[in-house]
Amino acid sequence: MINTVKNYLSLVKFSHTIFAMPFAMIGFFLGVNAIEASSPWYLRYGYKFIFVVLCMVFARSAAMAFNRYLDRNFDARNPRTAIREIPRGIISANQALVFTIICSSLFVICSWALNNLCFFLSPVALFVILFYSYTKRFTPLCHLVLGLGLSLAPIGAYIAVVGRFNLLPVLFSLTVLFWVSGFDIIYALQDEEFDQSQKLYSIPAALGKVNALRVSEILHLLCASVVVVAGFYGAFHVWYWIGMMVFVGMLIYQHSIVKPHDLKRVNLAFMTANGIASVVFACFVLLDLFLGKIPFSN
């Protein structure tokens, strides 16, 4: 039983939840902060916090399992991915598909438990995150679709609390869009030759490593710009700006260690730098929210 759980956690790369979950927490507590109340947030919204976390886990698990299911034949031919669970026969393709359906259903149920708007938008969110797996077959902009899928986290968590849209969480969603798209391009550098040989689409396969890194740099420059705009728009305090400097510093760091002719530290840039960036930034944003009310429009 324990091994089975480990296998499924490995299938969906559960540790990669570290990328979007901190931004979901930002969205959630922006929502909490937007509503005036005298009682502690956990008494009013503790149950919503739990369902937001569950929505994140189930949505991401569905997306990853479906990606592994759809790409199983490509993964088997790629030396880098041949060790994944489906090519190795640890988890069958049908089991991965059933797991996708179960996680998708649980995501919709948890969305229903939050509020009507979350429930009505849940099929849209599912479409985006599942559709990503098809995009590498017809467009090099697949990285942006992945970024779009993860960018739903802040605005979705905000809506879970407040029940409506607002510009500030949308700005954080744009941050995630540009950030994830940029580092996914860096990660895809490893498969440039394989993607070309299999007629798969990606920015590195279409433009080459040098130009792909330039595109990634532009996306991360846009990401940093939106973080700054969000800071001024939300009238955040000093804690936010400390977190912003760490976040931008991690963007700069990952571009400093990955070169077109040297990809040995791609995983360091992908997992370590971006994991630190998201967690530290979210911690400082939450510090700012808890230590002082942020005056933005509801």
Nearest to 151 by CA among 143, 163, 140, 162: 143
User: Does 65 fall in a domain?
Assistant: yes
Q: For residue 13, report the phi and psi dihedrals to the nearest 5 degrees.
A: 50, 60
User: Does 236 fall in a domain?
Assistant: yes
pLDDT of residue 41: 80
pLDDT of residue 38: 64
- Residue 13 Ramachandran class (φ > 0 left, ψ -120 to 50 alpha, else beta): left
pLDDT of residue 296: 46
With a cut of 70, list the residues of the chain below it in pLDDT.
37-38, 292-298
Token match 């595109």: residue?
215
Q: Which residues does 227 contact at the CB level (< 8 Å), separation at least 6?
A: 175, 244, 247, 248, 281
User: Does 297 fall in a domain?
Assistant: no
Q: What CA–CA distance (Å, rounded) separates 200 from 109?
A: 35
pLDDT of residue 290: 87
pLDDT of residue 42: 75
Q: What CA–CA distance (Å, rounded) separates 298 from 296?
A: 7
Q: What is the pLDDT of residues 141-172, one digit of tens each?
A: 999 999 999 999 999 999 999 999 999 999 99
User: Does 183 fall in a domain?
Assistant: yes
User: Does 281 fall in a domain?
Assistant: yes
pLDDT of residue 292: 66
Q: What CA–CA distance (Å, rounded) separates 148 from 84?
A: 25
Nearest to 65 by CA among 92, 35, 28, 83: 92
User: Does 298 fall in a domain?
Assistant: no
pLDDT of residue 251: 95
Token match 């088997």: residue?
76
C-beta separation of 68 from 94 below 8 A: no
User: Does 269 fall in a domain?
Assistant: yes
In 10 A of CB 182, how many CB atoms? 27
CATH of the domain at 28: 1.10.357.140
Looking at the structure of the chain, the number of domains it has is 1
pLDDT of residue 298: 45
Q: Reduced to 3 states, what is the DSSP secondary structure of residue 245?
A: helix
C-beta separation of 216 from 247 below 8 A: no
Q: What is the pLDDT of residues 84-122, one digit of tens each?
A: 999 999 999 999 999 999 999 999 999 999 999 999 999
pLDDT of residue 10: 86
Domain range for 207: 2-291
